[in-house]
């Protein structure tokens, strides 16, 4: 989409259709021009409720407030309602929350995210004809606007929303078209386009790095694993950050085979690794003055004569031995080795890992919320706050010593699953904590994105399928770090 910011009034802009956001059911607002028709259409202006008045060339959508989260969702739903229709251009006013230009950024994100669709595999895809968006600086409450600040927010919104859609595309791609070598190729192409550095470890290099847990998960697949390292390294960085993503391009469950219903959508098990690539794309294009490294463990977990088995004992990169009691708890094995490798390669001020790690997290907090864990209360709080600021739902899940005991193994240093069915998201996080060294213990946060990464219905600005969760929240966090840090 081409998005243009203009000081022209709404009346002076020529477009095929005008978007009007009705805030807090205020149908008496000066922007609302079709009160009688809206009443006849029983338009109540509830959050995300859409009313298209074809004869007037107006589309109305409700928003409960001027907060970014409500405006983003409203804009996305309005644009989604225009999909397949013949409108090529749209105009919309500016909406600010008490003068804060972040709401403008949220609206632009909503427009781009709402316009997304994944129809790669359809023989007759629905065309998105809407190509040109004009945003007037005519503000909802007649507040004055700084055009430079507004332009910056629009620029950032485009980069971040495009990176989110880039992530969605990777996650939505089928396992036969996106396996570890393909993920590595995507990373290489991204590096060439964005000025990032890219290093890819193949099986021989992975074996040399003693990543025994990751290699065990990968060995039954015809697709060999890759460990990907992308890096953004500006001069005199204000901080150093490592991002680690679980890139299970498909997860059958291994010999602890998933039931058929649970195996469908497992192309989404690469959501963590895909998010890391999306974040790196956004960071490079924003050219943030911080050093950021993205590490991805790209693996396929399959069955076969060479599959790793329950009762096996694996040796991770840091030398810890792991008793396998369930081969479907494979993501934590991959992350264990990649976390160790990331800490070996980079001494970071902050470490975040992203993974569709546990169904238990979905049971605990629902489809739409990420669970944030770690050893540091301050780190968890910071990640959750910036997620909420970016319009993503997240909540902290607390470690405790009693659950940690449930990972005890009688024959190895640790077991890959707990001996209780309860608290599975937390015990998975505590398993990962065993692979964080002392120097990074309080600098690390684990983000379980199993709930929001892939949902089979539309919600807010998210489509059916991949949401690209993790991109907006992490970019917001890294922007804040860049603003406040003095390395």
pLDDT confidence of residue 144: 86
Helix or strand run (H / E) with residue 338: helix 331-345
Rounded to an integer, what distance in angstroms lies between the CA atom of residue 355 and that of residue 338? Answer: 12
Helix or strand run (H / E) with residue 215: helix 212-218
Backbone angles phi, psi at 67, to 5 degrees: -70, 155
Question: Do residues 73 and 393 make contact, with C-beta atoms less than 8 angstroms apart?
Answer: no
Tell whether 23 is covered by a domain.
yes
Tell whether 168 is covered by a domain.
no
Specify whether 226 is located in the same domain as 282.
Answer: yes
Tell whether 152 is covered by a domain.
no
Question: Do residues 133 and 92 make contact, with C-beta atoms less than 8 angstroms apart?
Answer: yes
Which of 258, 320, 382, 480 is catalytic? The answer is 258
Q: What is the CATH number of the domain that holds 92?
A: 3.40.220.10
Name the residue among 434, 392, 444 with its Cα closest to residue 413. Answer: 434
Model-wide pTM > 0.85: yes
Pull the structure tokens for residue 334: 């991959």
Q: What is the CATH number of the domain that holds 398?
A: 3.40.630.10
- pLDDT 10s digits, 360-369: 999 999 999 9
Could you tell me the pLDDT band of residue 128, with boundaries at 50, 70 and 90? confident
Pull the structure tokens for residue 243: 């991002």
- pLDDT 10s digits, 247-259: 999 999 999 999 9
Q: Which residues contact 240 (CB under 8 A, 6 or more apart)?
A: 290, 291, 292, 293, 346, 347, 348, 349, 350, 487
Is the pLDDT at 439 greater than 60? The verdict is yes
Specify whether 228 is located in the same domain as 135.
Answer: no
Specify whether 361 is located in the same domain as 324.
Answer: yes
Name the residue among 232, 235, 258, 253 with its Cα closest to residue 243. Answer: 232
Could you tell me the pLDDT band of residue 487, with boundaries at 50, 70 and 90? very low
Tell whether 361 is covered by a domain.
yes
What's the N-to-C CA distance of the chain in angstroms?
Answer: 37
Mean pLDDT of 468-487: 91
DSSP state of 9: -
Beta bridge mates, 230? 198, 294
Backbone angles phi, psi at 202, to 5 degrees: -95, 175
Tell whether 405 is covered by a domain.
yes
Specify whether 93 is located in the same domain as 197.
Answer: no
Rounded to an integer, what distance in angstroms lies between the CA atom of residue 423 and that of residue 360? Answer: 7
Catalytic, 401? Answer no
Rounded to an integer, what distance in angstroms lies between the CA atom of residue 418 and that of residue 389? Answer: 34
Specify whether 93 is located in the same domain as 202.
Answer: no
Rounded to an integer, what distance in angstroms lies between the CA atom of residue 137 and that of residue 244? Answer: 40
Which of 156, 246, 317, 332 is catalytic? The answer is 332
Catalytic, 168? Answer no
Could you tell me the pLDDT band of residue 126, with boundaries at 50, 70 and 90? confident
Backbone angles phi, psi at 104, to 5 degrees: -65, -45
pLDDT confidence of residue 141: 92
Task: Give residue 327's domain range.
Answer: 173-484
Could you tell me the pLDDT band of residue 359, with boundaries at 50, 70 and 90? very high
Count how many domains the chain has: 2
Tell whether 154 is covered by a domain.
no
Specify whether 352 is located in the same domain as 422.
Answer: yes
Specify whether 180 is located in the same domain as 126.
Answer: no
Specify whether 214 is located in the same domain as 358.
Answer: yes
pLDDT confidence of residue 410: 98
Rounded to an integer, what distance in angstroms lies between the CA atom of residue 66 and that of residue 104? Answer: 10
Specify whether 121 is located in the same domain as 202.
Answer: no
pLDDT confidence of residue 45: 97
- Report the b/e string of 383-397 with b at 16+ CB within 10 A: bbebbebbbbbbbeb
DSSP state of 486: -
Helix or strand run (H / E) with residue 110: helix 102-114
pLDDT confidence of residue 486: 54
pLDDT confidence of residue 325: 98
């Amino acid at each position: 989409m081409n998005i243009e910011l203009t000081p022209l009034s709404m009346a002076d802009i020529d477009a095929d259709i005008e978007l009007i956001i009705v805030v807090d059911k205020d149908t008496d607002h000066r922007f609302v021009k079709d009160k009688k028709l809206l009443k006849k259409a029983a338009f109540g202006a509830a959050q995300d409720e859409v009313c298209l008045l074809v004869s007037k060339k107006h589309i109305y959508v409700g928003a409960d407030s001027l907060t970014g989260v409500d405006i983003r969702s409203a804009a996305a739903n309005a644009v989604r309602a225009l999909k397949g229709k013949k409108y090529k251009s749209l105009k919309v006013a500016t909406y600010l929350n008490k003068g804060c230009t972040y709401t403008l950024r949220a609206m632009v994100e909503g427009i781009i995210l709402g316009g997304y669709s994944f129809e790669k595999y359809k023989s007759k895809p629905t065309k998105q004809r809407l190509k040109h968006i004009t945003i007037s600086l005519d503000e909802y409450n007649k507040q004055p606007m700084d055009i430079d600040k507004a332009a910056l927010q629009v620029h950032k919104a485009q980069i971040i929303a495009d990176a989110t859609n880039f992530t969605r595309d990777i996650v939505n791609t089928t396992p036969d078209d996106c396996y570890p070598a393909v993920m590595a190729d995507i990373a290489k192409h991204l590096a060439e386009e964005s000025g990032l550095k890219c290093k890819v470890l193949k099986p021989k290099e992975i074996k040399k790095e003693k990543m025994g847990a990751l290699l065990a998960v990968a060995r039954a697949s015809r697709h060999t694993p890759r460990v990907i390292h992308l890096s953004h390294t500006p001069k005199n960085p204000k901080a150093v950050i490592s991002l680690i993503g679980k890139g299970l391009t498909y997860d059958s469950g291994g010999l602890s085979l998933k039931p058929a219903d649970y195996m469908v959508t497992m192309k989404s098990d690469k959501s963590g690794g895909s998010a890391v690539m999306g974040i790196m794309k956004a960071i490079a294009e924003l050219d943030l003055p911080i050093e950021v490294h993205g590490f991805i463990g790209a693996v396929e977990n399959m069955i076969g004569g060479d599959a790793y088995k329950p009762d096996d004992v694996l040796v991770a990169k840091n030398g810890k031995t792991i008793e396998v009691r369930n081969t479907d708890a494979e993501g934590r094995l991959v992350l264990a080795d990649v976390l160790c490798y990331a800490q070996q390669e980079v001494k970071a001020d902050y470490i975040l890992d992203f993974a569709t790690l546990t169904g238990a997290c979905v049971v605990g907090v629902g489809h739409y919320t990420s669970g944030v864990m770690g050893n540091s209360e301050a780190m968890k709080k910071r990640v959750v706050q910036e997620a909420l600021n970016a319009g993503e739902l997240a909540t902290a899940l607390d470690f405790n010593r009693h659950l940690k005991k449930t990972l005890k193994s009688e024959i190895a240093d640790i077991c890959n699953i707990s001996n209780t069915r309860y608290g599975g998201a937390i015990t998975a996080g505590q398993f990962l904590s065993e692979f964080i060294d002392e120097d990074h213990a309080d600098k690390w946060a684990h983000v379980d994105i199993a709930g929001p990464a892939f949902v089979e219905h539309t919600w807010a600005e998210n489509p059916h399928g991949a949401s690209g969760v993790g991109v907006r929240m992490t970019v917001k966090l890294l922007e804040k770090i860049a603003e406040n840090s003095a390395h």
